Amino acid sequence: MRANVVADAIAVEERWCARNYKPLPVVISRAEGVWMWDADGTRYLDMMSAYSAVNLGHSHPRILHALTEQAAKVAVVSRAFHTDRLGPFLAKLCELTGLDGACPMNTGAEAVETAIKAARRWGYRVKNIPEGRAEIIVARGNFHGRTTTIVGFSSEAEYQDGFGPFAPGFRLVDYGDADALEAAITPDTAAILIEPIQGEAGIVVPPTGYLRRVREICDRQNVLMILDEIQSGLGRTGKWFAYQHEDIRPDGLCLGKALGGGVLPVSAFVARRDVISQFVPGNHGSTFGGNPLAAAVGLEALNTIADEKLVERSAELGAHMMTRLSAINSPLIAGVRGRGLWVGVEINPTLATARSVCEALMRNGVLSKETHDTVIRFAPPLVISAEELDWAINRFEETLSALFLADAKVPA
């Protein structure tokens, strides 16, 4: 009977929902901390955290308290009026980043779009680039969102197919190659927009010193350095922000996902004063951006990360996760890379697909998701315990062993 409930739930969703995702065949009905339960009552450990949106775990009591308390007072009034929640939230963001001001938005893609607008206007108003000629340099393998502007400078054909024409003004260079980046700069270059670690590309970590070189290049060439830390920020890599691993500071920073505490879409573009001041009344906005409910939850998310020392936990347990995953002796693993509680495991494509491994792992009680057909992402909530993490890694190791032995080419 329960199997019919699960099948029916999947059937109804597939009947009415656009097929823009290919979920694993599981129906989640509730979640708490690092655990999720399906409609059949089966428990799973979440090793994905909704692409880092659930860094604080599911249904964190502090986040739920902030959410319900603020919702009972006032939730949305638009930016037509001041509120007592927005200022403290953005002040905390600026304190953490060392930057001067912020523009609140809702989704990560909106934060990136805001960064693009700010960079172009800065290019025209401050750098004196001729109107209409500002360029932004981006990296191959990037993932900054799904708007038409953003997919227009993706290097993934699938993201672009059938969605053009696309906005001009972007130059692609190889990720991790600082020399190529500098060579692409022209007098019309306003900014460089990159991820300090590429998430959707498969948790790709650039060479050591890359971000420092980019910072030096931007300073020398009078170009803005804008980082997208929507997935990598807020403790995911063992630092508050991934750029801190190289002791630099960007001119602009895109944040989102975990900023909403796992319950709301909350994002922001944070930048130095001459960049954020490019926004004036009338030239940019959002009805829901910076609403008091989002601001209250965002502030509580930041305070909870600090109070519970989740950044430090990510660094410690992330090192443990890397050590354990790297030690797994399986021909199905082609490589392991990552930083903090954010690791990508490359699957040998001649032996299995990442999708098949994720489906088998699901049957063993652990949920994650593949990217680009070959990589499995491991990004548990930062509240995970060492015991829970080891439990998940043990299940992963058992899954790989069972899959390898089940291969017809390998005798049991």
Contact, 137 vs 185, CB < 8 A?
yes
Higher pLDDT residue, 168 or 6?
168
pLDDT reading at 185 higher than 50: yes
Is 83 among the domain residues? yes
The catalytic site residues sit at 143, 228, 257
d(C-alpha 303, C-alpha 326), whole Å: 33
Residues 258 and 341 in one domain: no
CATH number of domain containing 204? 3.40.640.10
Is residue 316 scored above 80 in pLDDT? yes
- Please tell me the predicted confidence (pLDDT) of residue 192: 98
Q: Looking at the domain assignment, is residue 225 inside a domain?
A: yes
Expressed as residue numbers, the domain containing 42 is 29-59+309-406
Q: Which pairs count as long-range contacts for 168-173, CB under 8 Å and 24+ apart, including other chains?
A: 169/120, 169/134, 169/135, 169/136, 170/135, 170/136, 170/137, 170/138, 171/135, 171/136, 171/137, 171/138, 172/137, 172/138, 172/139, 172/140, 173/137, 173/138, 173/139, 173/140
pLDDT band at 269 (very low <50, low <70, confident <90, very high): very high
Q: According to the model, what pLDDT value does residue 412 have? A: 38
Mean pLDDT over all residues of the chain? 96
Q: What's the confidence (pLDDT) of residue 1?
A: 41
Q: What is the pLDDT of residue 46?
A: 98
Cβ atoms of 257 and 231 within 8 Å: the answer is yes
The token duo for 115 is: 């960064």
Q: Is the pLDDT reported for residue 407 higher than 70?
A: no
Number of domains in the chain: 2
User: Quick one: 126 and 159 in the same domain?
Assistant: yes
Tokens of 205: 């970590």
Q: Is residue 121 in some structural domain?
A: yes
Q: What is the pLDDT of residue 5?
A: 78
pLDDT in tens, 319-364: 999 999 999 999 999 999 999 999 999 999 999 999 999 999 999 9
| 256 part of a folded domain | yes
Residues 348 and 285 in one domain: no
* Same-domain status, 47 and 158: no
For 144-182, the pLDDT digits (tens) are 999 999 999 999 999 999 999 999 999 999 999 999 999
User: Would you say residue 236 lies in a domain?
Assistant: yes
What is the predicted pLDDT for the residue at 362? Answer: 98
Q: How does DSSP assign 9-76, residue by residue?
A: HHHHHHHHS-S-----S--EEEEEBTEEEETT--EEEESSHHHHTTTT-BT-HHHHHHHHHHHTT---
Q: pLDDT tens across 209-259, in order? A: 999 999 999 999 999 999 999 999 999 999 999 999 999 999 999 999 999
How much is the pLDDT for 40?
Answer: 87
Q: What percent of the chain has pLDDT over 70?
A: 98
The count of C-alpha atoms lying within 13 angstroms of the C-alpha of 165, restricted to the half-sphere facing its C-beta, is 3
Rounded to two decimals, the pTM is 0.96
165: preceding bond cis by omega (within 30 degrees): yes
Residues 218 and 350 in one domain: no
Final residue of a domain: which of 260, 277, 307?
Answer: 307
pLDDT in tens, 91-100: 999 999 999 9
